[in-house]
């Protein structure tokens, strides 16, 4: 017997049915490309240690070296200039920590005493660069943090004036992970070299979204990460220009030409190689398509929602990234309400999730703390379609209006 009243009411799960699922957080991570997943699945049979000389080891080594060649091709490098690491953060830590080697007779690199040990970087770098620089500063390394303008661009003259005779490394990210602003790294590398310093760029957000050629840019170090280009998590790569002094962060083995000890993550590396191959083939057409979608999303938001601010540079930006501040609407509330509607966005860097502090990137551009708290980042990818953008533009005004209706500050300012 069915109890009266039951069955006529929808269950809780049914009341929250999402009409569409839209993933707009590709800067945080990307889904595995189906062909990457297939390559990893097939490579599961290749279980040998790449350092072993027998048949099983040689098969693993072949997979690693093929991936190295594909990764190198994506950025215009030579295969021997690619070192596989555990993540983009590890790669960035490795480069900055080179400066911590002050022993004049270092058995690894001979860095000590040959160059300055100071670091110059920018105020909008990824936390793995900023925190490492601050950590080294606590150990005696001089660290200088150069600001940006209201669009998030670094002033070349200010950057050049920050470099001194004691500067060993200049580090500037190619494209910002929160607002997508692209920097003139080729010019900055030239400035660094003219002053006797090495140049590093964190290109984790740029590689695979825009053409990158280390020869043309003339950078000494470049970092990238697999899971930002539809590859697996837990693997990245570090480009080290041939002949540049280098000291490993992880010692204890001969792997990766002595630059990174530890048995190679064969599955992850093979996945990275396949992802690099696919990005090289798809990137040009994807860049054009994503720029069109980004423009439609930005224009739609401006047309349909009052009191908004698009953060970053109007033209020098990644094709997939849009960061918007909504006056009187708290970013985390927007994120949660959008999630209930099937739309995934971010309030900034995924690495800063859980922090109550406003975005250091937005603050550096002059956005006040209240506006920074009311910002969300929408980052598109290869699966994003025009219909997804239409759905977001249908839902977002309603969500912003709902959050603003609960804000006494916004109601007071509006009146």
The catalytic residue positions are 351
Question: Would you give the end-to-end CA distance of the chain in angstroms?
Answer: 57
**Site of tokens 């994506």:** 74
Whole-angstrom Cα distance, residue 267 to residue 369? Answer: 43
Residue 78: helix, strand or coil by DSSP?
coil
Side-chain-side CA neighbours of residue 85 (13 Å): 27
**Site of tokens 């080729």:** 186
∠ CA 170-103-90 to the nearest 5 degrees? 50
DSSP secondary structure, 105-130, as one string = T-SS---TTTS--EEEEETTS-HHHH
Whole-angstrom Cα distance, residue 209 to residue 385? Answer: 17
Angle at which helices 34-43 and 266-304 cross, to 10°: 170
Whole-angstrom Cα distance, residue 123 to residue 20? Answer: 38
Contact predicate 202/125, CB 8 Å = yes
Whole-angstrom Cα distance, residue 159 to residue 262? Answer: 37
Structure tokens belonging to residue 321: 């990234």
* Nearest-10 Cα torsion for 89, 92, 95, 96: -100
Whole-angstrom Cα distance, residue 46 to residue 266? Answer: 8
Whole-angstrom Cα distance, residue 165 to residue 259? Answer: 27
């Amino acid at each position: 017997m069915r109890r009266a009243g039951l069955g006529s009411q929808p269950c809780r799960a049914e009341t929250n049915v999402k009409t569409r699922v839209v993933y707009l957080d590709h800067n945080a991570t990307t889904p595995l490309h189906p062909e990457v997943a297939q390559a990893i699945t097939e490579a599961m049979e290749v279980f040998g240690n790449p350092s072993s000389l027998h048949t099983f080891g040689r098969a693993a080594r072949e997979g690693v070296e093929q991936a190295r060649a594909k990764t190198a091709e994506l950025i215009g490098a030579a295969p021997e200039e690619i070192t596989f690491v555990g993540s983009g953060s590890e790669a960035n830590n490795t480069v900055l920590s080179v400066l911590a080697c002050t022993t004049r007779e270092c058995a690894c690199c001979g860095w000590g005493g040959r160059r300055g040990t100071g670091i110059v970087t920018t105020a909008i770098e990824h936390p793995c660069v900023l925190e490492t620089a601050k950590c080294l500063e606590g150990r005696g390394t001089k660290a200088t943090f150069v600001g940006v303008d209201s669009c998030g661009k670094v002033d070349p003259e200010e950057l050049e004036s920050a470099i001194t005779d004691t500067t060993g490394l200049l580090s500037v990210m190619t494209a910002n992970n929160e607002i997508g602003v692209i920097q003139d790294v080729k010019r900055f590398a030239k400035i660094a070299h003219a002053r006797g310093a090495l140049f590093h760029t964190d290109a984790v957000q740029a590689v695979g979204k825009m053409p990158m050629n280390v020869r043309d840019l003339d950078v000494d170090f470049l970092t990238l990460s697999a899971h930002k280009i539809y590859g697996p998590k837990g693997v990245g790569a570090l480009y080290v220009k041939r002949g540049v002094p280098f000291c490993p962060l992880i010692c204890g083995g001969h792997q990766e030409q002595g630059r990174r000890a530890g048995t190679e993550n064969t599955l992850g590396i093979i996945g990275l190689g396949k992802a690099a191959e696919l990005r090289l083939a798809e990137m040009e057409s994807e860049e054009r398509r994503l720029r069109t979608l980004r423009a439609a999303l930005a224009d739609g938001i401006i047309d349909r929602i009052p009191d908004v601010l698009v953060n970053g540079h109007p033209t020098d930006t990644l094709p997939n990234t849009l960061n918007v501040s909504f006056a009187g609407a708290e970013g985390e509330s927007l994120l949660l309400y959008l999630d209930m509607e099937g739309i995934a966005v971010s309030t900034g860097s995924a690495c800063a999730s859980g922090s109550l502090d406003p975005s250091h990137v937005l603050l550096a551009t002059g956005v006040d703390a209240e506006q920074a708290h009311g910002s969300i980042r929408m980052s598109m990818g290869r699966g994003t379609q025009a219909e997804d953008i239409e759905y977001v533009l249908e839902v977002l005004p309603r969500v912003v209006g709902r959050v603003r209706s609960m804000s006494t500050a916004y109601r007071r300012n509006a009146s």
